[in-house]
Amino acid sequence: MDPLRHSPSPSSSRASSPRTLSCERLGYVGIEAVLDQLKIKAMKMGFEFNIMVVGQSGLGKSTMVNTLFKSKIWKSTMPGLRVPMPQTLQLHSVTHVIEENGVKLKLTVTDTPGFGDQINNDKCWDPILGYINEQYERYLQEEILITRQRHIPDTRVHCCIYFVPPTGHCLRPLDLEFLQRLCRAVNVVPVIARADSLTIEEREAFRHRIQDDLKTHSIEVYPQKSFDEDVNDKILNSKIRERIPFAVVGADREHMVNGRCVLGRKTKWGIIEATNGLPSSSVGKESTCNAGDPGSIPGLKDPLEKG
């Protein structure tokens, strides 16, 4: 019998009333307990996060995703191996459930191979924008049902990582055209791909030129002004804005440096570390990432080979 269904008798003492007993069994019930209840519920439900990666073939999108989650989420193109270039734009998604300290995250990564690879790139953004809008539509249709599901599967793209080729010049007309459309539909995080191919000075100059391009063409990337809800947000977001676009280096091989196993790119001059020691998660294995690194490449470390 549910003790909560009994109303306490006026004669009974406070300590022995059924309601008090049930409260003791359930723990403290009050406004401040709401936070704990929400936390327990959120932990049980888990979170969903959907990322999309966009950019030309060969810019390291697949490798970057593997670096971020330190697993083989995507198979990267092996150097020297002649894999036929996809003729048409195809989007494909892979979902993983990541668990860290009891918090579950359902991560979906959508890759867009072949974007901008054709000679005629006219409207090459259509399939990507179509996919993004289709997910909004799908969610909305579920949401407006009278008898809707308790939990609506969320396939909406929460973040789109846009890979800018490391030309060192400025954004190409294709980038501008696409970014202008993309940033109206989704949160865009532009990154300088394969940033190890630029010197530190080149990278900084490139970053500033991209920032100017974004401003000139009114392209509002993440974090948009609407995210500045209070002073603290404003301070944090302006720090992020200074660092956008992030310079990234992807790697999916591990190397030994001073007895330490690091994820990095082995070059003639040393190892470029691709990770910066952010907390690890588990998609089969541990993961660390560099995408949120404030625009720096950890640098060349302890050369294993010289000459």
Cα–Cα distance measured from residue 262 to residue 70, given in angstroms and rounded to the nearest whole number: 11
| Nearest to 192, CA basis, from 163, 218, 233 | 163
Question: Is residue 57 a contact point for ligand GDP (CB under 6 A)?
Answer: yes
- Other Cβ atoms less than 10 A from the Cβ of 264: the count is 24
Stretch that binds ligand GDP, among 55-63, 139-147, 177-185, 219-227 (CB under 6 A): 55-63
Stretch that binds ligand GDP, among 60-68, 218-226, 232-240, 299-307 (CB under 6 A): 60-68
Q: Which residue lies nearer to Mg ion by CB, 62 or 71?
A: 62
* φ/ψ of residue 110, rounded to 5: -110, 120
Q: How many residues does the chain have?
A: 307
Question: Is residue 63 a contact point for ligand GDP (CB under 6 A)?
Answer: yes
Question: Strand 260-267 vs strand 254-257: parallel, antiparallel, or unpaired?
Answer: antiparallel
Question: Is residue 77 a contact point for ligand GDP (CB under 6 A)?
Answer: yes
Cα–Cα distance measured from residue 247 to residue 236, given in angstroms and rounded to the nearest whole number: 19
Question: Is residue 276 a contact point for ligand GDP (CB under 6 A)?
Answer: no
| Site residues (CB under 6 A) for ligand GDP, limited to 250-269 | 250, 265
Binding mask 182-201 for ligand GDP (x = CB under 6 A): ------------x-xx----
Question: Is residue 61 a contact point for ligand GDP (CB under 6 A)?
Answer: yes
Q: Which residue lies nearer to ligand GDP by CB, 18 or 298?
A: 298
The number of CA neighbours under 13 Å toward the Cβ of 170 is 11
* φ/ψ of residue 257, rounded to 5: -130, 120
Sign (positive or negative) of CA dihedral 220, 222, 225, 226: positive
Closest approach of ligand GDP to the CB of residue 300, in Å = 13
Q: Which of 56, 62, 281, 287 binds Mg ion (CB under 5 A)?
A: 62
Residue ranges that bind ligand GDP, judged by CB under 6 A: 55, 57-63, 76-77, 79, 194, 196-197, 249-250, 265
